[in-house]
Structures are given as structure tokens and as C-alpha cells.
Amino acid sequence: MIHSKSKSVGIVTTARVTHATPGAAYAKIPHREWETDADMVAPWYGRGGRNCDSSLKDIARQLVEDNHRIHVVMGGGRRCFLNNKTMDPVHNLPGKRADGRNLIKTWEARQEAKGARYQYVWNREQLQEVDDNVEYLLGLFDYSHMAFDADRYERGKWSQPSLSDMTEKAIRILRKNEKGYFLFVEGAAIDLAHHQNLAHKSLLEGIAMDRAVKTATDLTSEVDTLTMVTADHSHVFNIAGYPVRGHSILGKMDNSNEDYWYMPTDGKMFTTIHYANGPGPNRSLDLADIDTRKLNRGKHIWDTPRDGLPMTTVVYGNGPGPGRELDLTTVDTTALDFQFPAAVPIAYETHGGEDVSIYAQGPMSHLVSGNWEQHFIAHLMAYAACVGPDKSHCTEDGRESSDFCNGAIQGARAGKRELGFALMVVIAFVRYLL
């Protein structure tokens, strides 16, 4: 819909650009794991295809062959574009593709055939040198997902761009189009750190996302740019206990609290923050003969408790229920790679079930209020950007019926831009920073 109105499009993520969330912006696929053709043959934990028709395109092929009009694509995932005979320039690992294709070269050939100004980059230094007047930019900055923000500094230099770096370059390229643009920015590493119970790194990723939002707002105007910040889920990540003022959020609780009912009954320290499940240190508890009314026996390897025991869907972070055997007395819980405790031992921490927030500023931001089902947000964005089936409010007659729209449109015209078409979505997978 955005392309049909001659607007520019950009996708920025710290995950692989073929991963589920960025991939949903451009690909149609039976399963999210089909990022390369190699993922589409033989069952993969029961999730892959079995001898898929060769005419079916994996997500990476759909990006390069069917969506080469996307002006800016930046993130990780070089392995999805390189064949298994081609080595990655940084990690010296072969690509994943089994079809012999080098989709980076295919993307370059498509742009060359159009006579477009284009550039492919794979590190921070190259990105900094990209001319803002380039029309098409492909940046693949890691073999798989990009490094955590805390780990980007390698061998005396910043080897990968930050989320802010990518956001700034994307906006500077896209905003040349007076018809407007749509930019999708995903702080994916917040989610990836949570899945490993790496709370410290996840919090730092939240700060990195906050910087990216500031970069975006500094480079745009509320007069003609609708900026939305939201999430698609929470995590089973919580604060537990009553830490004293000045206590580190990454620190430990002990028996120093004067109120005895807040003291651990086993006398052991516990962290203020923790997870309901995940790979972090955890408990030993057999629920096999307990009627919990809801036992979760995961279908997939990362959903199944490592100890083979059933788990409840609802878990408390602390309290009089069956607990853990863990002594944190001599453990540095503030370390970047400390895995915070998890009540249920599974290989990959799961998402939570709470509502998540959505915030907006700019034209049509008044529509973002109250509680909505998640699928409604896409319709809201289309309405605000005057694309899709319902755009009568964007006509001359429609504008006259709304003082708000009329004022916003006049302001946008003064800046030589169409209302609501400079649309940016910044997504972060976490509830506590939103």
C-alpha cells in the first residue's frame, strides 16, 4: 500500500532482516522459520516443510526478488543471503543457502538494472561513509542477529552500527521523498536478551532503543510525521521484593529487611528481578501428580522444561509456594552475562501475556488511545497514512469536516509533505520500558 502511493519504505532491525517481525513487513510465508531454502526441506522440529515445491520462495528470496523496491534494509542475517559455498567475510562461516544463490549479488544486479544509485555495506565504518543521496541501501551487519549493544565494541573499534546509527541513516535517505515514507525500526535485541535471561543486556538494549527514538524525533517534525512506539508482546520478567532506596535493580535482596515476612524463608539472597522461566538458575519441583488445572507440556524443544517436568502457566516470583535451591551470596548479579534466576528451567524464556503499550505523536496520534486488539494497529497506521481502502478523510471534502486534520494538513503542506505519509514505527519487545 505504501509503495502504491509512491512513498519510500525502510526496514531497520537488530535481528536478522529475515526474522519474524521484519519479515512480516514484506514476505508471505507458511512458516516464520523459512528464512532460507535450506529451512524449507525436511522437518525442523516438526516445523519445516517436507520437499517443498521449488517455486516457493523463502523469506530472503522474497526480499531480494519481489521487494527490491524497498529503499533501505538494515540488520543482521548475512547467512540467509549467502550460499553454503560462500564464506562470511567476518565470521569465516559458510552461508546457509542450498540453492547456490548469492542474494546480495542478486540485489545489486536488480538495482543496477534499474539504473538506481545503490550501496551494500556490512560494517559500521562503511555505513558512515554512505552518501545520503543514495536511493537504495542494503546493510547486513552480522552473520546472524546483530551483536548486543554492550558487545558491539571489538578489536579497538565499533564493528557494528547502533540502532541509532541505522535509524539516522535510514531517515536521511528516506526523507528526500516529498511524497513521504514509512520506516519500520525494531529493537529486536531486547527480546533476544530476555530469551536468555540476560536482564542486564536487555535493559541496555532498552536504552539503545530509547536513543533511537530520540534520534528519530530529532530528525523529524510532529507536523508531518506520525511516530509510533509499541511492542507485540511482553516477557515473563518481573520485579520481586521491596528493595531499599538506592538499591541496584540488578542487585540482591537479603534478610536485612526489618519486616520478617519479606525475608526469604530459606535465608538465601534473591535477585530483585527474575524470570518465570528460561535457562537461568532455577528450581527442582515435580508437579506430575499435582492438579494445577493447567499444565504446559511444550510442543517444541525450547518450550519443554529441561528437567522433563510439567510446568504451570502461572508462576509467582516469590512467596510461600514451592521454591528454588540457589545461593547467590558470592555471585555478581550485575555482570553483563549473568543469567537471572528463572522459576522453570527451559532452554528459551517465553513471552508473557500482559497488555503492552503503544505511544504516538504527530498527525492522527489522537487515534492511539484506550485498549485495542493488536491487529487494529495496522489499520490505524494505514488510515493515518491515507493508504488502503479507507482514505475518504484525506480528500478535500473529508478534510473540511475535521479541524484537526485540516490544521495538520495545512502544516504539512507548508513543509511540502503530505499528511501522515512520513510514518515511522519503532518497535521494542518489552513492556517495562514502554
| 168 contact partners, CB below 8 Å, separation of at least 6 | 215, 219
Unique residue bearing C-alpha cell 504446559: 296
3-state secondary structure 79-121: HHCCECCCECCCCCCECCECCCCCHHHHHHHHHHHHCCCEEEE
Check: CB of residue 157 under 8 Å from CB of residue 147. Answer: no
> Residue 417: left if φ>0, alpha if ψ -120 to 50, beta else—which one?
beta
195 has binding-site annotation = yes
19 has binding-site annotation = yes
329 has binding-site annotation = no
Q: What are phi and psi of 325, to 5 degrees?
A: -120, 95
Burial track 345-374 (b if 16+ CB lie within 10 A, e otherwise): bbbbbbebeeebebebebbbbebbeeeeee
191 has binding-site annotation = yes
21 has binding-site annotation = yes
Amino acid at 358: I
> Grid coordinates standing for 93?
562461516
Which residue spans within 279-316 are E strands per DSSP?
Answer: 295-296, 311-312
333 has binding-site annotation = no
**What residues form the annotated binding site for Mg(2+)?**
19, 21, 186
**What residues form the annotated binding site for Zn(2+)?**
191, 195, 232-233, 351
**What residues form the annotated binding site?**
19, 21, 186, 191, 195, 232-233, 351
